[in-house]
Structure 1
Amino acid sequence: MSEIGMVLIGGMFILLLAGVPIAVTLGLLTVVGLWMADFSPLIMAQRLIAGSTVTSLLAIPGFILAGDLMTAGGLSRRLVRIASTCFGHFTGGLSMSTVAAGTFFGAISGSAPATTAAVGSIMIKELELRGYSRGYGAALATAIGPLGQMIPPSIPMIIWGVLAEESISKLFLAGIIPGLLAAAGFCLISVIYARRLNIPREKRPSFAEILAALRDGIWALLAPVVILGGIYGGIFTPTEAAMIGALYSLCIGLFVYKDLSWSQLPGILVGAMRTTTLIMFIIVTAYGFAWVIASERIPSQISEVLLGITDNPLLLLLLLNLMLLVLGAVMDTVSAMVILSGVLIAVGAQIGLDPIQLGAMVVINFAVGMVTPPLGYSLFVAASISGLSIERVTRHLWPFLLVLVVVVGLVAYIPAITLFLPALLG
C-alpha cells in the first residue's frame, strides 16, 4: 500500500478512536490526501458538491420525516393495535404482535432506530404486564429494529444504491424475503419463550373487535400500500414515494386521526432536519474521501489481499461477512458503507457476486450491527425506553441475534433469497 494509503487508513483509526466525528474525520483526511498527492484542493469542493446533488438522496429526508409523522400522528399506535388483535390469542401472541407491528412500521420508516422507538415505546410495557420480563421486551424491541432496514423502503438501501450506482427499486425488492425470514424467526422465538414461561394466551377477539381495530387502523395499513404500490406500480420513483409518504402521514395525522397538531410540526421538522443533516454531512465528505482512496487504488489493493488469503469463493464470502459483522458492531452504518463501498464492490466483482445480492448482504450485515454492542443504535433506543442497562438487554438478545446471523448466511449463500423478487418483477 502507498504512503498516502497508509496515512489515510491509519489516520482514520486514530481519529475515530480519539472520538473525532466521522464526517470531520473524512473531511480532514481528504484534505491531507489531496495535499500529499499534490492535487488541487478545489477537488474537495467539487466532490462535496457532487455528493450533495445526487437526486436519489432526496428520499432520505422524506422517509425520515414520514416515520416521525407516523409516530406523532398515531399511525404506529394503530398498527400495534391491529397486530395485537390479529396475533394476541396465539401462544406467544403478544410477542408475535410486536414482531408484526415492527414489520408493518419497517415498511414505512426505513430506519432501524425509528422502528424500535415507535413499537418499543408501546409494547415493552404491555409485554411486561402480560408476564414477559422487561429485559425480554426490550430485547425484542431491539431485534425488530433491523426489519426497518431490510423491508422496503430502507434508508441504507437508498444510500448503497447511490454509492454502487445500482437500482434502488431492485435493492428494495431484495430485502423483502430476508426481512420476512427474520420476522418468522422472531415469531418462533416468541412461541418457545411463551411456552417455557407458561405465559397464558390472550382471549380470542370477537369479529366485532377485529373489525373495529381494522376500521380504526385502515389508514395506517394503507401507508405501505401507497408507498410500495406506487413504486412498483411505476406511478412514482422511490424519491417521490418518500415525499408522498411524508405528505400522506401528515394528512392522516392532522385531518383523519387528529392525533397530530399544528403546534407539533416545527419540532418534528427540526428533528427530521437534524437527522438528515448528520447523514448528509457524512455522505458528502465521504465522496471526497472515496475519490482519494480510489485514486490511490486502495480498494483494489485490499481486495487483492483478501483474494490472496484464499481463492475459494465460499471462504471469501465467509470472510467478507465476518468482516462486515465486526465492522457493523463498531461503526455507524452510513459511515461504514461509504468508506467500504469501493472495497466491497471490487471484492464482489472478483468473486462473481451479483451487485444486487451484494448490496442486500451489506445492508443486512450492517442492520445486525444496529442491535450489536457496543454501537447498536437500536439497542441504545430500547435500553433508554425500557430504563434498563445495555448489559441487561443484551442478555436477552442472543436468540434474536442468532436469527439475524442465520439470515445473513442465507442471503450470502443462497442468491435466490435476494434475487428472486427483482427477477420476477423485472
Structure 2
Amino acid sequence: MSEVAWFLTAGFAVLVVLGVPFAITIALVVAGALIAADIEPAFLAQSVISGSQSFSLLAIPLFMLAGEIMTAGGLSQRLVDFAGTLVRHLRGGLAMVTVLAALVFSAISGSAPATTAAIGAIMIPAMAAAGYDRAFAASIAVSAGVLGPLIPPSIAFVIWGIVAEQSIGRLFLSGIVPGIMIAAGLMAICWVHAWRHDVPRLPRAKLREAGLAFARGRWALASPLLVLGGIYGGVFTPTEAAAVSCVYALLVGLFIEKQLTLRALPGIFASAMRTSAIVCAIIAVSAGFGILVAQEQIATRFAAWLGENVGEKWMALAALNIAFFLMAAVMDEIAIMVILGPMLIAIANKFGVDPIHFGAIIVTNVAIGMAAPPIGYCLFIGMAISGLSLTRISRAIWPQILWMLVVLFLTTYIPGFALMFQPAAR
C-alpha cells in the first residue's frame, strides 16, 4: 500500500483506538495523507466546505431542533399518555407504552438519542415505580430509541441518501417494515418480562379517558402526518419538511399547548446545535477522506477482492453485517456510514444489491449500533436517566439486541421488507 493508504487505514485505526474524537481523527488523517502525497493543504479546507454544502444536510439540524422543541413543549408527555390508554392494561402494558410512544416520537425527531431521551425521561421512572426492574426499564427505553433511525423521517436515512446519492424519500419508506418489526418484538419481550416477574397490571382506560388523551395528543399525532404527507404528496422535500416540522412545533408549543416559553428557546436551540454540530462536523471533514479513498482505489480494490474470494451474494452480505455490527459497537455510526460508504456501495454494486434495499440494511445496522454495548449513544442516555452502570443495562438489553439481529437478518435476505412500500415504477 502507498503512504496515503497507510494514513487512511492504519492511521485512522490508531487514532480511533486512542479515543480521539471522530471529526478530529478524520481531519488529522486527511491532513497526514495530504502531506504524504505532497498535495496542497488547502485541499482539506476546500473539501470541508464542499462536504458541508449539501441542501439535504440542512435536514439534520432541523429535525433535531424539531425534536427538542416538541420535548420541551410537552408533546412527548402527550404521546405517552395516549399510548398508555391503548395498552397499559395488558401484561407488560406500561413497558409497551414506552415502545408505542417511541414509535410515534421517532416520526417526529428522526433521531435515536432524541427519542431515548424524550421517552426514557418519562417512562424509566414510571416503570421502576410500577414494579419493573430498573435495568429492564432502562434497556427498553434504549431499545425503543432505536426506532428513531428507522421510522421516517430519519436522520440516518438522510445521511445515507447523501452518501449514496439515492432518493431520501424512497429510503424513508424502506425503514417502515424493519422498524415496525422491531417494535412488535420489543412489545413481545415486554410481555414475557412482565409474565416472568409477575409485574402487576394497570387498570384499563375508560373510553372517556382514551378520548380525552387522544384530544390532548392530537397535535403531537398530527406532526408525522403533516411531515410525511407533505413529503410523499410532493408538497415539499425532506429538508423543507424538517423546516416545516420546526415551525409547527414552535406554533403548537407556544400558542396551542402553551408549555413552551420564549425564554426557553435559546437553551433549546443551543442543545440542538451542539448535537447537530457533531454530526455535521463528521460529514464535512469526511468529504476529503472519501476523495482520497477514491483516489487510492481502496474501495474498488476491496470490492474486487471480496468478489474474487466470496462468490456468493448471501455470504458477502453476511460478512458485511458481521463487520458492520462489530464496528458499530465501538465506532460512531455516522462516521462509519460516511467514511465506509463508497466501499460499501462498491460491494453492493458488485453483487447487484438494490441500492434502496442496501440502504435499509445499512441503516438497520446503524440503528442496532445505537443500542449495542459498549458505546451505543442511547446506552449512555439510558445510564444518565436511570443512574445505572453500563454493565447492568448491557446485561438487561441482550434479548432486545438478539431480536434486532433477527430483524436485520430478515431485512438482509428478504428484500420485500425494505421494498414493500416503494412506489411503483412508471
- Do both share a fold (TM > 0.5)? yes
Deviations 1:186-242 (A, max 9, x none): 011111111112223221111110111011111111011111111111111100000
- 1:36 maps to 36
Unaligned runs of 5+ in 1: none
- Whole-angstrom distance in 2 between the partners of 1:424 and 1:217: 34
- Whole-angstrom distance in 1 between the partners of 2:8 and 2:131: 52
Give the superposition deviation at 1:37: 2.5
Q: CA separation of 1:304/1:242 partners in 2, compared to 1, >3 Å: closer, same or farther?
A: same
RMSD: 1.3
Corresponding letter in the other structure for 2:194: A
- 1:403 maps to 403
Deviations 1:67-94 (A, max 9, x none): 0001100000100000011111112111
Deviations 1:82-112 (A, max 9, x none): 0011111112111111100010011111111
Unaligned runs of 5+ in 2: none
Does residue 317 of structure 2 align to residue 317 of structure 1? yes
Corresponding letter in the other structure for 1:162: I
Give the superposition deviation at 1:4: 1.9
- Whole-angstrom distance in 2 between the partners of 1:423 and 1:26: 38
- 1:282 maps to 282
Corresponding letter in the other structure for 2:202: E
Contact 2:102 / 2:145 at 8 angstroms: preserved in 1? yes
- Whole-angstrom distance in 1 between the partners of 2:146 and 2:208: 34
Give the superposition deviation at 1:424: 4.6
- 1:384 maps to 384
Matches within 5 A, 1:134-149: 134-149=134-149
Does residue 258 of structure 2 align to residue 258 of structure 1? yes
Give the superposition deviation at 1:305: 2.9
Give the superposition deviation at 1:423: 3.5
- Whole-angstrom distance in 1 between the partners of 2:42 and 2:92: 60
Corresponding letter in the other structure for 1:73: G
- 1:298 maps to 298
Corresponding letter in the other structure for 1:182: I
- Whole-angstrom distance in 2 between the partners of 1:28 and 1:132: 47
- Whole-angstrom distance in 1 between the partners of 2:123 and 2:420: 34
| Higher deviation after alignment, 194-203 or 168-177 | 194-203
- Whole-angstrom distance in 2 between the partners of 1:424 and 1:401: 33
Does residue 334 of structure 2 align to residue 334 of structure 1? yes
- Whole-angstrom distance in 2 between the partners of 1:206 and 1:366: 40
Any runs of at least 4 consecutive aligned residues in structure 1 with deviations exceeding 4 A, and if so which? none
Corresponding letter in the other structure for 2:328: G
Q: Secondary structure of 2:283's match?
A: helix
- Whole-angstrom distance in 1 between the partners of 2:229 and 2:286: 33
- 1:52 maps to 52
Corresponding letter in the other structure for 1:126: A
Corresponding letter in the other structure for 2:122: I
Q: Secondary structure of 1:20's match?
A: coil
| Higher deviation after alignment, 39-48 or 404-413 | 39-48
Give the superposition deviation at 1:294: 0.6
Give the superposition deviation at 1:329: 0.6
- 2:19 maps to 19
| Higher deviation after alignment, 218-227 or 20-29 | 20-29
- 1:163 maps to 163
Q: Secondary structure of 2:422's match?
A: helix
- Whole-angstrom distance in 2 between the partners of 1:215 and 1:170: 32
Corresponding letter in the other structure for 2:294: A
- Whole-angstrom distance in 2 between the partners of 1:200 and 1:374: 32
- 2:123 maps to 123
Give the superposition deviation at 1:137: 0.3
- 1:93 maps to 93
- Whole-angstrom distance in 2 between the partners of 1:292 and 1:258: 51
- 2:174 maps to 174
- 2:66 maps to 66
Matches within 5 A, 1:209-228: 209-228=209-228
| Higher deviation after alignment, 198-207 or 168-177 | 198-207
- 1:105 maps to 105
- 1:354 maps to 354
Give the superposition deviation at 1:395: 1.3
Deviations 1:268-289 (A, max 9, x none): 1111111122111111110011
Give the superposition deviation at 1:425: 8.6
Deviations 1:146-190 (A, max 9, x none): 100010111111011001100000010000110000000001111
Q: Secondary structure of 1:19's match?
A: coil
- Whole-angstrom distance in 2 between the partners of 1:5 and 1:290: 12
| Higher deviation after alignment, 255-264 or 20-29 | 20-29
- Whole-angstrom distance in 2 between the partners of 1:176 and 1:287: 29
- Whole-angstrom distance in 2 between the partners of 1:394 and 1:295: 41
Corresponding letter in the other structure for 1:181: M
Contact 2:3 / 2:36 at 8 angstroms: preserved in 1? no
Contact 2:175 / 2:418 at 8 angstroms: preserved in 1? yes
Corresponding letter in the other structure for 1:258: K
Give the superposition deviation at 1:43: 2.6
Q: What's the TM-score once normalised by structure 2's chain length?
A: 0.98
Q: Secondary structure of 2:371's match?
A: coil
Give the superposition deviation at 1:57: 0.3
Contact 2:254 / 2:261 at 8 angstroms: preserved in 1? yes
Give the superposition deviation at 1:40: 2.9
Does residue 267 of structure 2 align to residue 229 of structure 1? no
Q: Secondary structure of 1:422's match?
A: coil
Report the identity percentage: 46
Give the superposition deviation at 1:314: 0.9
